[in-house]
């Protein structure tokens, strides 16, 4: 206590340059990265929309009809269009990235990444067709 | 003794949620968010939709899809705030809010899916 403060020769320094909060606006690829990150908000909205739909179905035919009327109002439509764009962007980049995350060997040879990505797209088409068929078929 | 970190589990759930969201959400949004409200397609009639949604397998599938998607979203949002907006000093608060939000959303989805008649 009371000892005079003095500098040492090797005082730790903060070496990282301070980055702007808007660093991601400086390049297209950075903007794409942040756009993909922001898709999380729209996924949360889509889940909320789906849960509200299920709740309306549980409440009866009138509530279901009211939900469809609500879904046709401009703010909800706009939100769903924007969400769809972001989520499709998420899906496409996710499928294209799959070969980097999943390396499959068959008979001692590595399967080409195109096959892994293609199988993801095939699963997407199959899942979409199955849901559409369950609802409409 | 090795300290166990929750990060690998969180990344696993993030990954599973990313797949669930990518595979399932677009078709649901196209149909219920655009095609039915705008009258491009005739929406399924109520008895059919009710029977489909209240089926135990549908409830389970919806619960898994909703829960994983929410954890995925929470995890991704956490790192968006961490890296994108560089608010590293609030790491604990952000993690708590993101995973807490995902957990609350998942519980709400479970409540709705369990109580619909």
Q: Do B76 and A131 touch (CB under 8 A)?
A: no
B-chain residue closest to A101, CA distance: B15
Q: Do B15 and A101 touch (CB under 8 A)?
A: yes
Has residue A12 got a pLDDT over 80? no
Q: Do A127 and B84 touch (CB under 8 A)?
A: no
A83 neighbourhood in chain B, CB within 8 Å: 29, 33
Of residues B35 and A110, which shows the higher confidence score? Answer: B35
Dist CA B38 CA B22 (whole Å): 23
Give the pLDDT of chain B (117 residues) as one tens digit per residue.
567 788 889 999 999 999 999 999 999 999 999 999 999 999 999 999 999 999 999 999 999 999 999 999 999 999 988 877 777 788 889 999 999 999 999 999 999 999 998
Of B37, B56, B59, B21, the residue nearest A75 (C-alpha): B37
Has residue A55 got a pLDDT over 60? yes
Dist CA B39 CA A56 (whole Å): 19
From the list B30, B54, B72, the residue facing A43 with the nearest CB is: B72
pLDDT of residue B91: 86
Contacts across the A-B interface (CB distance below 8 Å): 152
ipTM value, please give it: 0.92
A134 neighbourhood in chain B, CB within 8 Å: 52
Dist CA B38 CA B16 (whole Å): 32
For the stretch B49-52, contacts whose Cβ atoms lie closer than 8 Å and that sit 24 or more positions apart, written own/partner, are: B49/A57, B49/A64, B49/A135, B50/A57, B52/A134, B52/A135
**What percentage of chain A's residues is helix, strand, coil (to nearest 5)?**
70, 5, 25
From the list B30, B84, B105, the residue facing A47 with the nearest CB is: B105
Residues B16 and B64 sit within 8 Å (Cβ to Cβ): no
Dist CA B67 CA B24 (whole Å): 13
Q: What is this structure's pTM?
A: 0.88
Q: Is A28 exposed, middle or buried (0-12, 13-18, 19+ CB in 10 A)?
A: exposed
Nearest chain A CA: its distance from B33 CA (Å): 6
Has residue A131 got a pLDDT over 70? yes
Backbone angles phi, psi at A12, to 5 degrees: -60, 135
Q: Alpha helices, DSSP H only, in B1-117?
A: 7-28, 46-54, 56-79, 91-115
Quickly state the pLDDT bin for A8 (edges 50, 70, 90).
low
Average pLDDT, whole number, for chain A? 90
B89 neighbourhood in chain A, CB within 8 Å: none
pLDDT of residue A13: 66
Residues A118 and A130 sit within 8 Å (Cβ to Cβ): no
Has residue A34 got a pLDDT over 80? yes
Task: Output DSSP code: residue A19.
Answer: P
Q: Which domains does chain B have, with CATH numbers?
A: 13-115 (1.20.1300.10)
Has residue A61 got a pLDDT over 80? yes
Dist CA A87 CA B22 (whole Å): 7
pLDDT of residue B90: 85
Q: What is the CATH number of domain A26-136?
A: 1.20.1300.10
From the list A47, A57, A80, the residue facing B49 with the nearest CB is: A57
């Amino acid at each position: 206590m009371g000892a005079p403060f003095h500098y040492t020769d090797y005082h730790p320094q903060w070496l990282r340059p301070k980055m702007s909060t808007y660093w991601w606006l400086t390049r297209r690829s950075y903007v794409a990265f942040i756009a993909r990150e922001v898709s999380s908000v729209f996924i949360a909205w889509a889940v909320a929309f789906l849960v509200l739909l299920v709740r309306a179905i549980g409440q009866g035919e009138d509530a279901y009809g009211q939900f469809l009327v609500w879904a046709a109002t401009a703010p909800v439509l706009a939100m769903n269009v924007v969400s769809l764009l972001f989520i499709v962007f998420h899906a496409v980049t996710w499928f294209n990235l799959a070969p980097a995350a999943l390396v499959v060997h068959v008979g001692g040879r590595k399967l080409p990444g195109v096959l892994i990505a293609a199988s993801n797209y095939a699963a997407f088409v199959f899942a979409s067709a199955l849901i559409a068929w369950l609802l409409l078929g | 003794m090795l300290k166990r970190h929750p990060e690998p589990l969180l990344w696993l759930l993030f990954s599973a949620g990313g797949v669930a969201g990518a595979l399932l959400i677009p078709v649901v949004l196209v149909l219920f968010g655009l095609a039915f409200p705008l009258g491009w397609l005739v929406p399924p009639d109520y008895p059919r939709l009710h029977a489909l949604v209240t089926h135990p397998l549908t409830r389970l599938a919806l619960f898994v899809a909703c829960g994983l998607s929410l954890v995925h979203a929470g995890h991704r949002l956490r790192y968006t705030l961490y890296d994108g907006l560089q608010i590293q000093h609030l790491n604990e608060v952000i993690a708590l809010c993101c995973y807490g939000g995902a957990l609350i959303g998942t519980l709400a989805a479970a409540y709705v899916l369990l109580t619909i008649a």
